[in-house]
Amino acid sequence: MNLMNNMDSENRVVLNVGGIRHETYKATLKKIPATRLSRLTEALGNYDPVLNEYFFDRHPGVFAQVLNYYRTGKLHYPTDVCGPLFEEELSFWGLDSNQVEPCCWMTYTQHRNTQETLAVLDRLDLDTEKPTDEEVAKKFGFEDAYNKGKVSWWQHLKPQIWSLFDEPYSSNAAKIIGIISVFFICVSIISFCLKTHPDMRVPYIRNITVKTANQNTSWVLDKTQTNAHIAFFYIECVCNAWFTFEIMVRFISSPSKLRFITSSVNIIDYIATLSFFIDLILQRFASHLENADILEFFSIIRIMRLFKLTRHSSGLKILIQTFRASAKELTLLVFFLVLGIVIFASLVYYAERIQINPHNDFNSIPLGLWWALVTMTTVGYGDMTPKTYIGMFVGALCALAGVLTIALPVPVIVSNFTMYYSHTQARAKLPKRRRRVCPVELSRPPRLPGQAGPGVCNTGSGKLPSSNAPSTGSMDQAIRRMNANRTITKDVILPKMETKEPVGNV
């Protein structure tokens, strides 16, 4: 019996992971080859010959699932562990994270979606934290000059100008510049709208000489058109002067000229500003043309300046990003709308022709397309209505199909907006500075009695511990002997053997 116990103990191995001792068979660790646990030997630096165990300073909760994977062949994800930590632990043990069971896959992959969301928020530049001088030097491309201590006056002034005009929350002065910019945007939009009101326009009157029936000459005042009041012209001149100055300053001080030019908001900005000067030129040299009024249509580009407000509002940035993230759902919505519009326009066209209907509004399928679009979007202008019973039935189906089609992607869009907004609020509440830790895992070489253990993360002194300090190796052995009394998890629980007391000689 003692021989069997010795053979069984030789086939077992003790693994101390983060202070929790696990015991299993060596054959169990050989089930998954080419992993860290399948190559355990006593020559490794983390083997303790005193306690006859292997020590790993890793997360014990994740290792419980790792060891269970060796036993059962099924890898489950612990819900009390962060996803990146689980991936890091699996990478340390040499396991593939794609082997997670389907029942845990949705929970496990949530952290990947979170990381993608955080990466998007990083690109949106929603942080109000002031960057360090090193980060500013790296952003503006004079990192070498900063490391050498040879930063010129322009390299020192350029980031400050950029922060003033492009980062409204970086300082109080930047907030003032941002308020001025928003003020001119609002004044420009209001002026653009008010100058089309009839009470805000001035009639253009011409004196026309006419001859009467008696061959007499007479003067007639002819009102041919109306022009906007001259005050709106001066308002637009002041606003566009500010916009031009802002574009030039931001372009000169931008970290990357190519990225500045290709930015969508900047494209809208300088096209809208350029349209004002083009309008002035056309009024000066092309006002005598017959269709010169058509050229005023291009001035509607100036209304697009509203998108400049995204630089001053994180909510607008999140809203625009929500529509980008929901592009597939919006495309699917448009597809089903077009499909339903074509089907119901054709049905209502033929349904209205089956019965006698002298007041038929659906003279063609293209006219029915307009009715189907208005009905499916639940607007219902009432300019076209079916008159027959079959047409009314088709209209009822069209309205129900429109409600269901539009309602399907709405929860997805709302969910995306909630996700981005909640992460933005969480990032705003995070501490700005965190204590840095050493990211390098130090090796554990074999230790001799009385020899100091491996050094910890150097804090900058670069000195070894003094000889008067207690030996790290002896302290580790003492702690491990104390932990040896803890519960040992076993792969197989052997039945308890009954022992008999030896009978003495009579």
332 sits in which H/E element: helix 327-354
Res 290: pLDDT: 56
Q: What are phi and psi of 379, to 5 degrees?
A: -90, -60
Give the integer Cα–Cα distance in Å for 244 and 239: 9
Q: If you count DSSP H runs as helices and E runs as strands, how many of each does the chain have, helices first? A: 19, 6
Nearest one of 482, 480, 476 to 454, comparing CA atoms: 476
Closest CA to 394 of 367, 370, 376: 376
What is the structure's pLDDT at 107? 83
What pLDDT sits at residue 431?
Answer: 63
CA distances from 380 to 160, 357, 370, 371, 373 (A): 54, 21, 10, 8, 9
Structure tokens belonging to residue 375? 């009905």
Question: Closest Cα to residue 271, out of 252, 299, 237?
Answer: 299
- DSSP string for 48-80: ETTTTEEEE-S-HHHHHHHHHHHHHS-B---TT
**Nearest-angstrom CA–CA distance, 86 and 58:** 11
Q: How many CB atoms lie within 10 A of CB 207?
A: 8
What is the per-residue DSSP string for 339-390? HHHHHHHHHHHHHHHHS--TT---SSHHHHHHHHHHHHTT---SSS---SHH
Q: What is the structure's pLDDT at 343?
A: 94
Pair of tokens at residue 271? 């096209």
> Residue-wise over 425-450: b if at least 16 C-beta within 10 A, else e?
eeeeeeeeeeeeeeeeeeebeebeee
Q: How far is the CA of 65 from the CAs of 21, 69, 179, 483, in angstroms?
A: 14, 6, 56, 21
Q: Cβ(279)–Cβ(299) under 8 Å? A: yes
- DSSP 8-state secondary structure symbol assigned to residue 489: B
Per-residue pLDDT of the chain (506 residues; tens, 9 = 90+): 565 556 567 788 999 999 999 999 988 998 998 899 988 887 888 888 888 899 999 999 999 999 999 999 999 988 888 888 888 999 999 998 888 888 888 888 877 777 777 777 776 666 556 777 788 888 888 888 888 888 888 888 888 898 888 888 778 888 899 899 999 999 998 998 888 888 888 877 766 776 766 767 766 666 667 778 888 889 989 999 999 999 999 999 988 888 888 888 888 888 888 888 888 887 777 666 555 556 566 677 778 888 888 777 777 778 888 888 888 888 888 999 999 999 999 999 998 888 777 888 888 899 899 999 999 988 888 888 898 889 899 999 999 999 998 888 888 888 888 888 887 777 766 665 555 555 555 555 554 444 444 444 444 433 333 333 344 444 455 445 444 444 444 443 333 334 344 444 33
Contact 334, 368 (CB under 8 A): no
Q: Count CA atoms within 13 Å of residue 24 on its CB side.
A: 23
Cβ burial, residue 464 (10 Å; 0-12/13-18/19+): exposed
- 401 contacts 340 by C-beta, under 8 angstroms: yes
| pLDDT for res 144 | 83
SS3 letters across 196-256: CCHHHEEEEEEEEEEECCCCCEEEEEEEEEEEECHHHHHHHHHHHHHHHHHHHHHHHCCCC
Residue 484: both structure tokens together:
């040896």
